[in-house]
Structure 1
Amino acid sequence: MTLTCIAVDDEPLALGLVCAFIEKTPFLTLVGRYSSAVEALQGLMNGPVDVIFLDIQMPDLTGLELARVLERSNRSAHTTRIIFTTAFDQFALDGFRVDALDYLLKPFNYEEFLRAASKARQYFELVHRVEPAVAAPMIAAPKEESEDYLFLKVEYQLVRIPYRDILYIEGLKDYVKVYRQSEPDKPLLSLTSLKALEEKLPSSQFMRIHRSFIIALASINAVTRNSVQIGSTLIPVSDQYKDAFGQFISRWM
């Protein structure tokens, strides 16, 4: 698989280095180089690219601002991923919030660049494998019958989580924690909302019982009218969800 790339940096030496690294990498193709985010935005109007190697600190329009513009514009179904290149490590969390694929801290060498580029290739290979499976047929099958896993953005990678491995999911403001049977003491942290996951998960296998919790029904060890026990964890049922939960546990009692 070959990925199309552009490089954006207002420092000529840094821009030249990134372009040289791209041209050195067999699975990358350089289709544009820009000394400002404004120029890059204009260039992207000619057609989408796979990966943008993007500096953060630039005049007029910063790399973070360009990333937010691209996120809001949603110009096509094509997925463009961003790898930030910067001399300032304090922007790492901001890069995560705009869904950057990776974050290269200057000065970086070719080995570090190649590691980030390989992550991009793995991401697109995964996307291309998934797309045929989730493409809508003439008569779409119900979601819970056609899928048995969830894809979740964790740090800078896309992680495949089988439904059967999920114990429960906890919402934490802008993030969620996914607790799993395979590693119960190592929950996965993802920048998404509990509502977004609730819409993706099959209702036959999962239930929201609290504004901060979704549980896997198969993982329940014990229930009361007001709580659920999963392993050693007791999860409360809030008033908003008691009616639906009461209908469910009526089959138990």
Structure 2
Amino acid sequence: MNKIKCIIVDDEPLAISLLEHYVEKTPFLELVFSTENPILALEYIQNNGSDLIFLDIQMPELSGINFMKIIGSRQKYILTTAYSEFALEGYEHNIVDYLLKPISFERFQKSAIKAQERFSLQNKESRHFFVKSSGQQHRIHFNEIIYIESIKDYVNIRTIHEEYIVLDTLKSMESQLPEGFIRIHKSFIINLDKIKSIGVKRVMLSDLEVPIGDSYRANLLDKLK
């Protein structure tokens, strides 16, 4: 399994430093962003991929509960707080675990392993996901996706049956896809199972050609070994 991409959102600098240290000591976690400002975290998530958020519940600008309501179920959360009375409310959302401050490394590790098991199970069981396109929710099976293309503020999900234009980013899409998908260009993610042939600059997928970015080619060839 790939590393779990983590974000830390906490209005206490010392709490952030501690969690950053814990993440660094955990081999299967990768810190991609940390901030005291939940608004900056919202902006980051809108433009980048992540898997797991270590989220403080009590923050002055935006509470952790309201933060989760805005982001929704596309992220998983480990809540951090000094106030145990928030636990029950927090579990109404997509929560992996609940950490009560001060947080020991042993307790952090238990939560991290729990998250790892959750993601591992999700990757094994997941066969589809839902996207909103043209005002409707559509079920898309991963094995039907040919490629996903970035088009400004939208992505075009091309399947063997049709196309879906979705308000999202390629980074966000990438974080939702299981093994078997790879980014081969700044604007394209492809399904490895749909490759028919590979040229110097292009990949042939069914009857469709997709460009290969120079910086992505080596990783693609490595994945195919």
TM-score class, shorter-chain normalisation, is 0.5 to 0.7
- Where does residue 137 of structure 2 map in the other structure? none
1:39 is matched with 40
What whole-Å deviation, never above 9, does each CA across 1:94-143 have from its counterpart, x for those lacking one?
Answer: 110122111000011011001001111100100110124994767xxxxx
Distance in structure 2 (CA, Å) of the matches to 1:70 and 1:137: 26
Bigger RCO (CA 8 Å, 6+ sep): 2
* Aligned mate of 1:126, from 111, 121, 130: 121
Distance 2:61 2:32 in 1: 23
Is the Cα–Cα contact under 8 Å of residues 36 and 59 in structure 1 kept in the other structure? no
> Equivalent residue of 1:124, what SS?
helix
Structure 2 vs 1, CA of residues 51 and 133 (structure 1 numbering), >3 Å: closer, same or farther? closer
After superposition, residues 1-253 of structure 1 pair within 5 angstroms as: 1=1, 2-71=3-72, 79-132=74-127, 135=141
- Which structure has more strand as a fraction of its residues? 2
Structure 2: which amino acid aligns with 1:87?
Answer: A
Give, as a single letter, the amino acid of the residue that structure 1 aligns with 2:97: D
Q: Distance in 1 between matches of 2:58 and 2:122?
A: 30
Structure 1 stretches of 5 or more lacking a match?
Answer: 139-253
Deviation of the 1:81 alpha carbon: 0.3
TM, length-normalised to structure 1: 0.49
Contact residue 75 and residue 94 of structure 2 kept, 8 A: no
Separation (CA, whole Å) in 2 of partners of 1:103 and 1:46: 26
CA deviation after TM superposition for structure 1 residue 42, in Å: 1.1
SS at match of 2:95: coil
Q: Secondary structure at the match of 1:125?
A: helix
C-alpha distance in 2 between matches for 1:67 and 1:112: 23
Question: What SS class does the counterpart of residue 89 from structure 2 fall into?
Answer: helix
| Alignment TM-score, normalising by the size of structure 2 | 0.55
CA distance in 2, matches of 1:58, 1:136: 37
The count of aligned residue pairs is 132
Query: Residues 133 and 35 (structure 1 numbering): CA distance in 2 closer, same or farther, change over 3 Å?
Result: closer
Partner secondary structure for residue 83 of structure 1: strand
Classify 1:127/1:57 alpha carbon distance in 2 versus 1 (closer, same or farther; 3 Å): same
Q: What amino acid does structure 1 have at the position aligned with 2:46?
A: M
- 1:165-215 deviation per Cα after TM superposition (whole angstroms, max 9, x unaligned): xxxxxxxxxxxxxxxxxxxxxxxxxxxxxxxxxxxxxxxxxxxxxxxxxxx
